[in-house]
Structure formats: structure tokens, C-alpha cells
Amino acid sequence: MDSSVFWGRPVTDSDAIGGERRQDRRYQLHMEAKGKLIRRRRLLDTGAGRTVDISSGGIRFDAGRRLPEGLNVELAILWPVLLRNEAPMQLVVTGKIVRCDGRQVAIQTTQHEFRTAGLRSERRTVLAVSPRDPSVLNRSAAVDVPGEA
């Protein structure tokens, strides 16, 4: 069948579907992401990359390599906004790989939720008490909290 003829008349440019056909608006957001490749609830591989664009129905990200279509993915995306200006957030998304164009992978999201990503590893203000010098009991100092790097 000749693709230049449709129902007995020539196909013109006005017959083509133009413009954006996606249902959800896409936002060009470039954020760090860590991912897990899953098949039948088994972890196959892990990796890291960056998001290219995000919508409520899907995410396109640079995985740094080609990933097989049809497998499930869980992405943990480092969110740029802190919860109550203190705690880092991450957007955790699960979905299925629907397209892979080189290093860029597109997933259709099936579930998403925001989670805290732990406390900041910065200096915090804590009460520093010296048992030999009671004069420092009412002062606080900025110190590194052990175990926080």
C-alpha cells in the first residue's frame, strides 16, 4: 500500500498530527537521581543519572546507558526544596520503561511519593558541656555532631 495515498486521495501536510500530543505538561527539571532496575520484584541493577524532564504521567532521564524497555524502575530523585527549610526531600517514583533513546530513558509512572532524605550533614548547634568547667553550662556552641559527615 502506498503511504502517500490515503482513502483514494494524496496525503498532505495538513493531514499530519501536529503539536504536543501528551496529556501532561512536561517540566524541564535537571535533578540528581538514583535508580533500581527491577524485574518480577527482584533487583537486577542500580545506577545513577539526571532527570531531563518530568510530568505527572512520566519522567525522562539520562541513565548514562541503554536500559531495556518493559522493565520496572524505581527512581529516588533528590528534590531541590527542603521540608520546613531543614530536611532534604526526595521524590520516589516507580514506573515502567516505555522508551529508550540511547542514554535517555522514558518511564510511565505508576506510583510516586515524597520522602525525607535524612538530615543535612552540616554543622548543628548543640549544647557543649564540659564537666570540669560549670561556667559553660548555659552556652551553646556550633560543633560537629559525631557520625555526621
Which residues partner with 62 through β-bridges?
50, 104
Rounded to 5 degrees, φ, ψ at 114 are -90, 140
3-state secondary structure of 25: coil
Mean pLDDT by 10 residues, the chain (149 residues): 54 53 81 94 94 94 93 95 91 96 94 83 43 46 47
- pLDDT for res 24: 77
Cβ 92 vs Cβ 107: under 8 Å: no
Say how far apart CA 50 and CA 31 lie, in whole Å: 5
Say how far apart CA 38 and CA 93 lie, in whole Å: 13
Q: Taking the domains of the chain in order of start, what are their residue ranges? A: 22-116
% residues pLDDT > 70 (the chain) = 64
pTM: 0.63
Architecture label for domain 22-116: Beta Barrel (2.40)
